[in-house]
């Protein structure tokens, strides 16, 4: 038996990042994107230019994506593979063939790409050189990526029910689709704790470990596997003792789930009666039942860009209203902060230009102010629904960094309100306006922004990445991505002070709010409105209802004094 074969039979434990809690035991399905489907249909001569352009855009986007992944890896072998893949996509011969199939033979772009790659692969298959034959897998991979890119869609993923998905990378919408096929847990090579895919897996309550780098090579479909989303561990082909240990942990988990219900039924207050609200961060319609299940008191963050992720477009105001209305119907009398479309960064959107630093680029409100029609359609959709639910909806602005951006948003809201009123359409004229405090410029000058808005929502996921200059999705520097770093706490504290001084509401909707001890500290600092993945509500509530407000204030005071993240982590461990 070769060393690799032997390794593939032994128990292996792999450490990754604990993206979503829970223990899952079962059978692995190694998930690879399916081959896209193409048809050899012909196009008319007037369509050739647009098909050529689609090819060029797809080529650019694919190379950009490969370069991005290459930059974020230090692994020599992976770097070499990616370099080869970039070379394939850039191959001038292939491009010439594709262009000629479109121009001369009038094939649609998807089929032109497929045909050129098929010929290339056939040539290599005939070749005796084993090294060249080894490249076929890369070429097929690049063919599929390009075809998907020109078709501007990804294939619908599909897995056997109740298996544990092991994959190199998943898009946020893949997670939602796989969850509906009863995915038991998720194990992924790429991703950081606050990458969008992880956040969604967490909100959907799917036990997940991410950032494993090369797990796909160590696991085969059908392998027995244990995923420990509490500790970020994955055990493959467990020995009997290991299996028994985890079965016991699983029983404990089930017992805790039963206890959860008792906690959820308690009033949201500290032992001495200080009240707080625990709301939900929500994205997809499929998550709506979680509101009742976890007794969320409204939605502190509705990530509306999910419309784009699930449907490939935001849609006009009418299409959006359907989504907003279904949310409002489910939420009852409670409040919903509808965040304007926050695309860019790791949230896919058709970029007009390739950006070297997408997280510092055309994202959130910056993009919306350039794409006014998109902004206006969304404001119209929200405002129309607000007329039916007055006082219950807030508009939340993402990625705000300057006062001028806020001026512009206000102007647009005013304009659309007038436009709707002139047509006798009911609108909540006092609709509440809030901003995400997620760029340090807003936190630092919170005293200037507070008098201009009705509420602040502190987004520690981005606030951390911009304060510490750490890409939130980069697993190579995940140890530096510290939401509990003293610098982040100082900005939170300062924002609360400004909000209190100007008597506006302030909440926290970043992942820090889902950490029970950090949540206790936030309440001690003066936050009484926390928003999180609904599945985190029981643990957070459990931590809060066991203490007096004074105890939480003392914890906050200690955190204010701390000078390092290590000190804060030690303090949290002791508090536990």
User: How far from the centroid of its chain's Cα atoms is residue 521's Cα?
Assistant: 25
DSSP secondary structure string, 524-550?
A: HHT--EEEE-GGGHHHHHHHHHTS-HH
Contact indicator for 149, 62 with CB cutoff of 8 Å: yes
In the bound state, the residue with its beta carbon closest to Mg ion is 462
In the complex, the smallest distance separating the C-beta of residue 335 from ligand PEP, rounded to whole angstroms, is 17
Output the furthest CA–CA distance in the chain (Å, rounded).
79
Is 338 a binding residue for ligand PEP by CB under 6 A? The answer is no
* Contacts (CB under 6 A) with ligand PEP, residues 346-375: none
Tell me how many residues contact Mg ion (CB under 5 A): 3
Contact indicator for 478, 472 with CB cutoff of 8 Å: no
CA distances to 107, 400, 443, 453 from 435, in Å:
49, 7, 11, 7
Rank residues 98 and 396 by Cβ distance to Mg ion and give the closer one.
Answer: 396
Rank residues 184 and 303 by Cβ distance to ligand PEP and give the closer one.
Answer: 303
- Which of Mg ion, ligand PEP, none is residue 148 near (CB under 5 to 8 Å by kind)? none
In the complex, the smallest distance separating the C-beta of residue 438 from Mg ion, rounded to whole angstroms, is 5
CA gap 535, 194 in Å, rounded = 16
* Contacts (CB under 6 A) with ligand PEP, residues 300-329: 301, 303
Contact indicator for 150, 54 with CB cutoff of 8 Å: yes
In the complex, the smallest distance separating the C-beta of residue 172 from Mg ion, rounded to whole angstroms, is 14
- Which of Mg ion, ligand PEP, none is residue 168 near (CB under 5 to 8 Å by kind)? none
In the complex, the smallest distance separating the C-beta of residue 540 from Mg ion, rounded to whole angstroms, is 20
Is 405 a binding residue for ligand PEP by CB under 6 A? The answer is no
Rank residues 91 and 493 by Cβ distance to ligand PEP and give the closer one.
Answer: 493
User: How far from the centroid of its chain's Cα atoms is residue 561's Cα?
Assistant: 32
In the complex, the smallest distance separating the C-beta of residue 408 from ligand PEP, rounded to whole angstroms, is 21
Nearest C-alpha neighbor of 301 from the set 263, 327, 322: 327
In the complex, the smallest distance separating the C-beta of residue 450 from Mg ion, rounded to whole angstroms, is 19
Contact indicator for 501, 450 with CB cutoff of 8 Å: yes
CA gap 550, 390 in Å, rounded = 36
- Which of ligand PEP, Mg ion, none is residue 380 near (CB under 5 to 8 Å by kind)? none
In the complex, the smallest distance separating the C-beta of residue 204 from ligand PEP, rounded to whole angstroms, is 15
Contact indicator for 14, 210 with CB cutoff of 8 Å: no
Contact indicator for 228, 23 with CB cutoff of 8 Å: yes
Contact indicator for 224, 197 with CB cutoff of 8 Å: no
Residue 570 structure tokens: 């030690």
Rank residues 288 and 509 by Cβ distance to ligand PEP and give the closer one.
Answer: 509
User: How far from the centroid of its chain's Cα atoms is residue 119's Cα?
Assistant: 38
- Which of ligand PEP, Mg ion, none is residue 17 near (CB under 5 to 8 Å by kind)? none
The three-class DSSP label of residue 98 is: helix
Where does 265-359 have alpha helices with state H? 289-293, 306-311, 317-331
Is 438 a binding residue for ligand PEP by CB under 6 A? The answer is yes
Exactly one of 167, 207, 461, 478 binds ligand PEP (CB under 6 A); that residue is 461
Residues that are catalytic: 196, 509
Q: Which residues pair with 188 in a beta bridge?
A: 167
Nearest C-alpha neighbor of 339 from the set 509, 205, 169, 108: 509
The three-class DSSP label of residue 297 is: coil
Rank residues 23 and 530 by Cβ distance to ligand PEP and give the closer one.
Answer: 530
Is 191 a binding residue for Mg ion by CB under 5 A? The answer is no
In the complex, the smallest distance separating the C-beta of residue 217 from Mg ion, rounded to whole angstroms, is 33
Contact string 444-463 vs Mg ion (x = CB under 5 A): ---------------x--x-
Rank residues 163 and 457 by Cβ distance to ligand PEP and give the closer one.
Answer: 457
Is 191 a binding residue for ligand PEP by CB under 6 A? The answer is no
Q: What is the enclosing helix (H) or strand (E) of 338?
A: strand 336-339
- Of 172-180, 313-321, 455-463, 535-543, the window that binds ligand PEP (rule: CB under 6 A) is 455-463
Exactly one of 174, 321, 462, 539 binds ligand PEP (CB under 6 A); that residue is 462
Q: Which residues pair with 508 in a beta bridge?
A: 458, 530
In the complex, the smallest distance separating the C-beta of residue 441 from ligand PEP, rounded to whole angstroms, is 15
Is 529 a binding residue for ligand PEP by CB under 6 A? The answer is no
Contact string 420-439 vs Mg ion (x = CB under 5 A): ------------------x-
Is 510 a binding residue for ligand PEP by CB under 6 A? The answer is yes
Is 192 a binding residue for ligand PEP by CB under 6 A? The answer is no
Strand pairing report for 233-236 and 224-228: antiparallel
In the complex, the smallest distance separating the C-beta of residue 365 from ligand PEP, rounded to whole angstroms, is 12
Is 287 a binding residue for ligand PEP by CB under 6 A? The answer is no
CA gap 17, 228 in Å, rounded = 10
Rank residues 183 and 442 by Cβ distance to ligand PEP and give the closer one.
Answer: 442
Rank residues 330 and 342 by Cβ distance to ligand PEP and give the closer one.
Answer: 342
CA gap 401, 136 in Å, rounded = 47
Is 509 a binding residue for ligand PEP by CB under 6 A? The answer is yes
Tell me how many residues contact ligand PEP (CB under 6 A): 11
Q: At a CB cut-off of 8 Å and minimum separation 6, what does 333 contact?
A: 392
Q: At a CB cut-off of 8 Å and minimum separation 6, what does 420 contact?
A: 380, 383, 384, 387, 427
Is 392 a binding residue for ligand PEP by CB under 6 A? The answer is no
- Of 39-47, 131-139, 447-455, 459-467, the window that binds ligand PEP (rule: CB under 6 A) is 459-467
Q: Is 70 exposed, middle or buried (0-12, 13-18, 19+ CB in 10 A)?
A: middle
- Of 106-114, 223-231, 349-357, 453-461, the window that binds ligand PEP (rule: CB under 6 A) is 453-461
- Which of ligand PEP, Mg ion, none is residue 303 near (CB under 5 to 8 Å by kind)? ligand PEP
The three-class DSSP label of residue 218 is: coil
Residues that bind ligand PEP (CB under 6 A): 199, 301, 303, 342, 438, 459-462, 509-510
Residues that bind Mg ion (CB under 5 A): 438, 459, 462
């Amino acid at each position: 038996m070769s060393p690799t074969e032997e390794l593939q039979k032994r128990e292996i434990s792999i450490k990754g990042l604990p993206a979503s809690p829970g223990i899952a035991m079962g059978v692995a399905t190694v998930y690879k994107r399916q081959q896209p489907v193409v048809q050899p249909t012909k196009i008319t001569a007037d369509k050739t230019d647009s098909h050529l352009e689609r090819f060029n855009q797809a080529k650019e986007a694919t190379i950009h994506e490969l370069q991005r992944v290459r930059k974020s890896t230090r692994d020599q072998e992976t770097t070499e593979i990616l370099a080869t893949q970039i070379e394939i996509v850039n191959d001038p011969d292939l491009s010439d063939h594709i262009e000629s199939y479109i121009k001369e033979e009038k094939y649609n772009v998807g089929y032109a790409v497929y045909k050129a790659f098929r010929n290339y692969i056939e040539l290599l298959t005939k070749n005796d050189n084993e090294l060249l034959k080894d490249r076929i897998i890369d070429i097929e991979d690049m063919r599929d990526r390009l075809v998907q890119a020109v078709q501007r869609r990804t294939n619908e993923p599909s897995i056997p029910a109740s298996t544990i998905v092991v994959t190199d990378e998943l898009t946020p919408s893949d997670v939602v689709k796989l969850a509906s096929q009863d995915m038991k847990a998720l194990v992924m090579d790429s991703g950081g704790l606050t990458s969008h895919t992880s956040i969604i897996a967490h909100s959907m309550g799917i036990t997940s470990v991410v950032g494993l780098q090369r797990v796909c090579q160590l696991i085969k479909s059908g392998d027995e596997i244990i995923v420990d989303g509490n500790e970020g561990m994955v055990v493959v082909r467990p020995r009997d003792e290991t299996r028994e240990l985890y079965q016991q942990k699983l029983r404990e988990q089930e017992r805790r789930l039963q206890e959860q219900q008792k906690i959820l039924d308690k009033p949201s207050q500290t032992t001495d009666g200080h009240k707080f609200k625990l709301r939900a961060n929500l994205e997809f319609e499929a998550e709506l039942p979680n509101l009742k299940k976890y007794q969320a008191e409204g939605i502190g963050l509705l990530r509306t860009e999910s419309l784009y992720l699930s449907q490939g477009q935001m849609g006009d105001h009418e299409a959006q209203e359907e989504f907003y209305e279904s949310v409002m119907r489910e939420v009852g009398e409670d409040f919903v902060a509808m965040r304007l479309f926050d695309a860019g960064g790791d949230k896919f959107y058709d970029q007009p230009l390739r950006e070297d630093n997408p997280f510092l680029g055309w994202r959130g409100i910056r993009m919306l102010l350039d794409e006014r029609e998109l902004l206006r359609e969304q404001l119209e959709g929200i405002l129309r629904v607000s007329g039916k639910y007055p006082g219950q909806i807030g508009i939340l602005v993402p990625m705000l960094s300057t006062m001028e951006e806020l001026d512009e948003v206000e102007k647009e809201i005013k304009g659309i309100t007038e436009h709707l009123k002139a047509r006798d359409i009911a609108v909540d004229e006092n609709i509440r306006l809030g901003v995400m405090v997620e760029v340090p410029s807003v936190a630092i000058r919170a005293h200037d922004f507070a008098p201009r808005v009705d509420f602040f929502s502190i987004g520690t996921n981005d606030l951390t990445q911009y304060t510490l200059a750490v890409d939130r999705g980069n697993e190579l520097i995940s140890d530096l991505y510290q939401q509990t770093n003293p610098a982040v706490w100082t900005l939170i504290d300062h924002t609360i002070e400004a909000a209190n001084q100007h008597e506006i509401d302030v909440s926290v909707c970043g992942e820090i709010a889902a950490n029970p001890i950090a949540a206790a500290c936030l309440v001690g600092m003066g936050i009484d409105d926390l928003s999180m993945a609904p599945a985190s509500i029981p643990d957070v509530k459990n931590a809060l209802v066991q203490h007096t407000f004074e105890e939480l204030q003392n914890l906050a005071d200690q955190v204010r004094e701390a000078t390092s993240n290590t000190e804060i982590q030690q303090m949290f461990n002791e508090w536990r």
